[in-house]
């Protein structure tokens, strides 16, 4: 799940609402809107994501890059034909976390399109949760205080299916 983005510097466009667009490969994407707080944007949104982790080769159990791109746009009304203004972005390499057995909190550096030297470095926080065999409430409560991304592995260990990102 995508939890929050902080700190949100006052030097940024005075956006009241932002649009977060996420993308993983060509066919997996989505978006949601969040309200900008004093110095934090709280998302608390989850999504399901299915992906395949390809082995790199070798005996070190590493996987080829599999990027989750997170782009934040100003969500104020726009003129016809004008795209929302990109405010910044972050990238998480899901392959770095491999096949999960526990919830993993992640803080990804967030890069502003325009920034001031006085701006503190920001991070977007999310939690990746491995998928369980079932989606019952008992399983989900193990990480209930955190966002989740759920996943599972096929028999040969090469495919990793993420069920939800919270």
Q: Where are the domains of the chain?
A: 2-165
DSSP element (H, E) containing 137: helix 137-140
Q: What is the mean pLDDT of each run of 10 residues along the chain (166 residues)?
A: 87 78 91 89 88 77 90 78 84 89 92 75 90 49 45 41 42
For 47, which DSSP code? Answer: B
Give the Å distances, CA to CA, from 72 to 9, 12, 96, 140, 163: 14, 12, 23, 28, 23
Comparing C-alpha atoms, which of 113, 38, 99, 101 is closest to residue 66? Answer: 99
User: Phi, psi at residue 142, to the nearest 5°?
Assistant: -65, -25
- pLDDT at site 113: 86
Looking at the chain, how many residues does it have? Answer: 166
Domain 2-165 is of which CATH architecture? Sandwich (2.60)
- pLDDT at site 146: 40
- SS3 of 88-132: the string is EEEEEEHHHHCCCCCCEEEEEEEEECCCCCCCCCEEEEEEECCCC
């Amino acid at each position: 799940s995508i939890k929050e983005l902080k700190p949100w510097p006052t030097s940024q466009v005075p956006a009241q609402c932002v649009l977060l667009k996420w993308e993983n490969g060509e066919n997996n994407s989505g978006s949601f809107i969040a309200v900008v707080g004093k110095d934090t944007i709280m998302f608390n949104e989850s999504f399901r994501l299915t992906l395949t982790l390809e082995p790199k080769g070798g005996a070190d159990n590493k996987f080829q890059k599999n990027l989750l791109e997170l782009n934040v746009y100003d969500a104020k009304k726009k003129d016809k034909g004008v795209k929302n203004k990109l405010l910044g972005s972050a990238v998480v390499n899901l392959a770095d976390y491999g096949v999960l057995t526990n919830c993993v909190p992640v803080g990804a550096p967030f890069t502003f399109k325009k920034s001031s030297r006085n701006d503190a470095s920001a991070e977007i926080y999310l939690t990746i949760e491995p998928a369980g065999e079932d989606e019952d409430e008992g399983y989900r409560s193990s990480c209930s205080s955190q966002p989740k991304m759920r996943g599972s592995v096929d028999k040969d260990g090469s495919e990793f299916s993420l069920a939800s990102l919270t």
